[in-house]
Structure 1
Amino acid sequence: MTFRKAEWPRRLRSQEWFGGTSRDHIYHRSWMKNQGLPADLFDGRPVIGICNTWSELTPCNAHLRDLAQRVKHGIYEAGGLPLEFPVFSTGESALRPTAMMYRNLAAMDVEEALRANPLDGVVLLVGCDKTTPALLMGAASVDIPAIAVSGGPMLNGWFRGERVGSGTALWQMSEAIKAGAMTREDFLDAEQAMSRSPGSCNTMGTASTMASMAEALGMALSGNAAIPAVDSRRRVMAHMSGRRIVDMVKDDLKPSDILTREAFENAIRANGAIGGSTNAVIHLLALAGRIGIDLTLDDWDRLGRDIPTIVDLMPSGRFLMEEFFYAGGLPVVIRALGEAGLLHKDALTVSGASVWDEVKDVRNWNEDVIRPVGQALTPHGGIAVLKGNLAPKGAVLKPSAASPHLMRHRGRAVVFEDIDDYKAKIADEALDIDENSIMVLKNCGPKGYPGMAEVGNMGLPPKVLRKGITDMIRISDARMSGTAYGTVILHTSPEAAIGGPLAIVRDGDMIEVDVPARRLHLDLPETEIEARLKAWHPNMPVPESGYARLFHTHVQGADTGADFDFLKGQRGKAVPRDSH
């Protein structure tokens, strides 16, 4: 793709606020000057917003204040005026009922802040996983020049000589306790090792996956995804992004120029190659909806089906993000895709160059971490999309994190009506369940939980764990953490709370899973399924007011990205009418 740069100089959007001598222009400038800003900063130079998701309640993003200062340095150097502002910060580690419930709220916050303020471009400071899609979604809806800067992953965790992957180790150790293989005291000793520096998860969880997606889409500078949070090169990345956004404004290089269908196809393939999180599915579907790209679950399955997973990182593999960075990071993966004929090489990036120009000369410095295609972790990575009478609109599974022997399986359903029902029953020794059963969790989708929490990777029952069994098939309309693993079927659509077939599954029903055939089947006569669905009635309370009511009323299904129905498409950067 050849990008045609806009003529420069030209009158910028911010000059509608600052560029004149009327009462309104003076009003806007004079109030800004109470911060000690010199008059010549309003002379027509680009005004760049720094959209900061810093929050001490979002520990993955708690270091972003420093990065914002580095961005400012770059903007000033390039001749722009940086103006930092906060937006709602969605942190997965503490926010209840789930950060996913507030992704759309954060995206609305970003969109309206960008449209209502005198900004010509924006730097999106992101970290914990929902902040990345939320800010990209908001920026795409407004379509002013935008560039993403990730906060970066934590350093490797180490406990008693072993790597500790944030999140992944938590799930492993929790299961080990239930199996009697680890003491509570050892678990507590390991706690500090899981998070020993600023940054987001050090595994290929959703945060690092979405940082990789921003880079693969072309919305971040090449190399952005993997630099550790505490590495000085993370500050350099922020500084250079500040410089770059000023030139993007001058060139009028917008998200709609970058977020093409080819860019999304590159990102889907990159997700398969890195063993990325299933959460990337729901976020990229939502982002595509904002930019007007008709992306579907079928695209995810078609594009990712034969992509080899070549990054050997937890939760699918052995290593952590620190090693991924030292090996060369995402640029090495993108180059491998290009060499295999699996990349749209002309796709444009925020640098103004094509994605191939950015990666064609990079080297792989550690083939244990980023494997050659012929030695892939799994030859068929990507995201598998299963369909059938149990998931007419689809469900997803991550093959690289699943057990090969469970890829074809027929088992008896053990049903949990919601997450509280699961918690009440799972440790009961009288629960009629064994390793051949299929665990089914209902009412945890977008409307059901509400917000579609990361509870799909249900822990196994202790009596099964004590046999040495570490995996069983689990099916739900929930999500799971990108740091989790196992043969977990997620995002089952339509969800149970609105009467999807998942709602009528009962204990003892037989379910057939055939991942190679992409089939998810409830083994009941069609007449029985129809009778159960006809007798079904909603049993989940509907919120009466506030954001929860807005969410419940307008959220769409996981199969289209769980965005709000009224936020699809772009609304543009129109200058609001002055109220003074």
Structure 2
Amino acid sequence: MAFTPAKWPRRLRSQEWYGGTSRDTIYHRGWLKNQGYPHDLFDGRPIIGILNTFSELSPCNGFHMKELAEKIKAGIWEAGGFPVEVPVFSASENTFRPSAMMFRNLAALAIEETIRGQPMDGAVLMVGCDKTTPSLMMAAASCDIPSIVVTGGPMLNGYYRGERVGSGTHLWKFSEAVKAGEMTQEEFLEAEASMSRSTGTCNTMGTASTMASMAESLGMALSGNAAIPAVDSRRRVMAQLSGRRIVQMVKDDMKPSDILTKEAFENAIRTNAAIGGSTNAVIHILALAGRVGIDLTLEDWDRCGRDVPTIVNLMPSGKYLMEEFFYAGGLPVVLKRLGEGGLLHKDALTVSGRSIWEEVKDAVNHNEDVILPTDKALTQSGGIVVLKGNLAPKGAVLKPSAATASLLQHRGRAVVFEDIDDYKAKIEDPDLDIDETCVMVMKNCGPKGYPGMAEVGNMGLPPKVLQKGITDMVRISDARMSGTAYGTVVLHTSPEAAAGGPLAVVRDGDVIELDVKNRRLHLDISDAELAARLARWAPLPDQPTSGYAWLHQQHVEGADTGADLDFLKGCRGNPVGKDSH
């Protein structure tokens, strides 16, 4: 798309705080000078907020984020801007309870108001763990000030006894091996030390790396940003270049609304299919689209992703990790392949000021076992499958590249768990009436039900099944699944059980049919029986009555539209507002 830069110089937003000689201006400017800033820094140069999600309790957003922030500052100074580092809400999947997803929207709200209420002309979105990427992009989109994403980057490869270890993916694998009697607890503890051997996000194509790839394919990050390891010096170079670039974006008045078009979202959906990305991306991208008023639906995910081959050979779908993906050429190679296959809107604008095709057309694939030729794809029909039927009238999702091919068409007897506690109480019981032909069903784990929609959808199999050598079964829930996980797992079933969706009334012994080819998820009872069961359904007791949990419960929407809070949808802009001093 064509972009027309704004004329420069012009009066910037920050000048409403710092420009002139009024009492209020002197109040704002004078206080900031207590940090030692010379007067000429307030002469109308762009003030850039570096929104840093560093937290010692968010390991993905660890100490390397401090160093990256300094590099971003250097780039901003070089380009004639005025950098100010601002700590913001950091929601980490590996520490937050009941689920980091419950706080994605709270983070987006807090960061949106941080941007709107303070004198920033542009923002650098420093992201890492999977929830920080969508929350900061959602906030920036709602305010619509010039913004650029800088990702913290993935960890280095892990190794255990000569085996490449992927964070998350091998956690599930080793845990199941312990339950199956194939690995001792002592060996599991030994393997723990190899899983996270450097700072950074998950080294698999989990949700963090997926969302970094989404930011790049949307055009919100500089080309090549997604895959550079956290500890690689080139990550610091990327940070400094991004600092330089955001200053020019402010001068040009290049905003998220210029970049986040329907075509950009379609590019991201196809990219997700090509990389074997996380199912979590569905919820985050739908929510982001809602912030900029783009009409994006679950059907768009199926339509755009259905015929895209999965060519990135990374765990959990394949065998390599993010370190090898970077060395092979990273996301630019994938985007180039999509463009050559007619699967990329080549004119989509990026934060560089150039089109996405201009950025990637000269990319070179340095390892065709990591980024596969199309005829050797992990699956020729990648993407996220959207299933519908009487069990999921508003949709459910499944990731084919992480599933077992023989289970993609399956009929089985339901074994039902009413919630996560019921699952934990029953799953290891040797008397549980279950075998590998059954369909495991878990309820009340959606946006309202958990609350917050935790990553519990990839339910571990019962030991009695694992001990037969079985490693996968069909599993259905209204929960999410970690992007590092694998299996034939149906997720995000909508409407969720806690909102009175059909999932709420599934009973032990009901027959469920999964037909991925025909996009069907069916509960084999009559319409009359289903209606009668739903008429008898009642909401769960003991709902939150105060605090953020109550606010979330009252206003969160379904997974099928992004699980955002209903009052946060749409772009509210960045009016300066009234000065109270």
What TM-score bracket applies, with the shorter chain setting the length? over 0.9
What does residue 223 of structure 1 align with?
Answer: 224
What does residue 47 of structure 1 align with?
Answer: 47
Q: Deviation of residue 541 (structure 1)?
A: 2.3
What does residue 161 of structure 1 align with?
Answer: 162
Distance 2:314 2:377 in 1: 12
Distance 1:275 1:322 in 2: 16
What does residue 528 of structure 1 align with?
Answer: 529
Distance 2:105 2:493 in 1: 20
What does residue 179 of structure 1 align with?
Answer: 180
What does residue 508 of structure 2 align with?
Answer: 507
Q: Partner of 1:60: helix, strand, or coil?
A: helix
* Greater than 2 Å deviation, 4+ residue runs: none
Q: Partner of 1:204: helix, strand, or coil?
A: coil
Distance 1:421 1:291 in 2: 40
What does residue 191 of structure 1 align with?
Answer: 192
Distance 1:55 1:355 in 2: 32
Partner AA of 1:200 in structure 2? T
Query: Cα deviation per residue 1:419-463 (whole Å; 9 max; x = unaligned)?
Result: 000000000000000000000000000000000000000000000
Query: Cα deviation per residue 1:57-96 (whole Å; 9 max; x = unaligned)?
Result: 0000012111101000000000000001111100110110
Partner AA of 1:8 in structure 2? W
Answer yes or no: is 1:490 the counterpart of 2:494.
no
What does residue 57 of structure 1 align with?
Answer: 57
Partner AA of 2:349 in structure 1? L
Partner AA of 1:92 in structure 2? E
Q: Partner of 1:319: helix, strand, or coil?
A: coil
Answer yes or no: is 1:8 the counterpart of 2:4.
no
What does residue 17 of structure 1 align with?
Answer: 17
Query: Cα deviation per residue 1:113-171 (whole Å; 9 max; x = unaligned)?
Result: 11000110000000000000000000000000000000000000000000000000000
Answer yes or no: is 1:378 the counterpart of 2:358.
no
Q: Partner of 1:392: helix, strand, or coil?
A: strand
Q: Partner of 2:451: helix, strand, or coil?
A: coil
Q: Deviation of residue 538 (structure 1)?
A: 0.9
Distance 2:91 2:541 in 1: 25
Answer yes or no: is 1:567 the counterpart of 2:568.
yes
Q: Deviation of residue 111 (structure 1)?
A: 0.5
What does residue 413 of structure 2 align with?
Answer: 412
Q: Partner of 1:428: helix, strand, or coil?
A: coil
Partner AA of 1:68 in structure 2? A
Unaligned runs of 5+ in 1: none
Answer yes or no: is 1:241 the counterpart of 2:242.
yes
Aligned 1:212-361 pairs, distance under 5 A: 212-361=213-362
What does residue 118 of structure 1 align with?
Answer: 119
Distance 1:138 1:550 in 2: 18
Distance 1:205 1:295 in 2: 23
Unaligned runs of 5+ in 2: none
Partner AA of 1:169 in structure 2? H
Distance 1:521 1:535 in 2: 20
Partner AA of 1:433 in structure 2? I
Q: Deviation of residue 2 (structure 1)?
A: 1.2
Distance 1:375 1:541 in 2: 52
Contact 1:281 1:300 in 2 (8 A): yes
Distance 2:541 2:413 in 1: 26
Query: What root-mean-square deviation, in Å, do the aligned CA atoms of Structure 1 and Structure 2 show?
Result: 0.4
Partner AA of 1:575 in structure 2? V
Query: Cα deviation per residue 1:32-60 (whole Å; 9 max; x = unaligned)?
Result: 00000111110000000000100000000
Contact 1:214 1:220 in 2 (8 A): yes
Query: Cα deviation per residue 1:306-364 (whole Å; 9 max; x = unaligned)?
Result: 11000000000000000000000000000000000000000000000000000000100
What does residue 517 of structure 1 align with?
Answer: 518
What does residue 144 of structure 1 align with?
Answer: 145
Distance 2:122 2:528 in 1: 57
Q: Deviation of residue 540 (structure 1)?
A: 4.1
Q: Deviation of residue 542 (structure 1)?
A: 1.4
Q: Partner of 2:325: helix, strand, or coil?
A: helix
Q: Partner of 1:31: helix, strand, or coil?
A: helix
Distance 1:331 1:550 in 2: 41
Partner AA of 2:221 in structure 1? A
Q: Number of residues paired by the alignment?
A: 580
Answer yes or no: is 1:96 the counterpart of 2:110.
no
Distance 1:264 1:413 in 2: 36
Distance 2:106 2:192 in 1: 32
Contact 1:448 1:540 in 2 (8 A): no
Q: Partner of 2:382: helix, strand, or coil?
A: coil
Partner AA of 1:442 in structure 2? K
What does residue 31 of structure 1 align with?
Answer: 31
CA 183–119 in structure 1, closer or farther in 2 if over 3 Å, else same = same
Partner AA of 1:43 in structure 2? D
Distance 2:6 2:90 in 1: 34
Distance 1:45 1:378 in 2: 51
Distance 2:66 2:117 in 1: 23
Distance 2:541 2:188 in 1: 36
Partner AA of 1:460 in structure 2? L
Distance 1:8 1:541 in 2: 57
Distance 1:58 1:484 in 2: 20
> Scaled by the length of structure 2, what TM-score is found?
1.00
Q: Partner of 1:579: helix, strand, or coil?
A: coil
Q: Partner of 2:40: helix, strand, or coil?
A: helix
Contact 1:472 1:487 in 2 (8 A): yes
Contact 1:477 1:493 in 2 (8 A): yes
Contact 1:385 1:396 in 2 (8 A): yes
Distance 2:386 2:51 in 1: 34
Q: Deviation of residue 109 (structure 1)?
A: 1.1
Distance 2:504 2:115 in 1: 41
Contact 1:124 1:148 in 2 (8 A): yes
Contact 1:497 1:540 in 2 (8 A): no
Distance 1:551 1:527 in 2: 33
Query: Cα deviation per residue 1:464-517 (whole Å; 9 max; x = unaligned)?
Result: 000000000000000000000000000000000011000000000000000000
Partner AA of 1:356 in structure 2? W
Distance 2:478 2:204 in 1: 24
What does residue 80 of structure 1 align with?
Answer: 81
Partner AA of 2:58 in structure 1? T
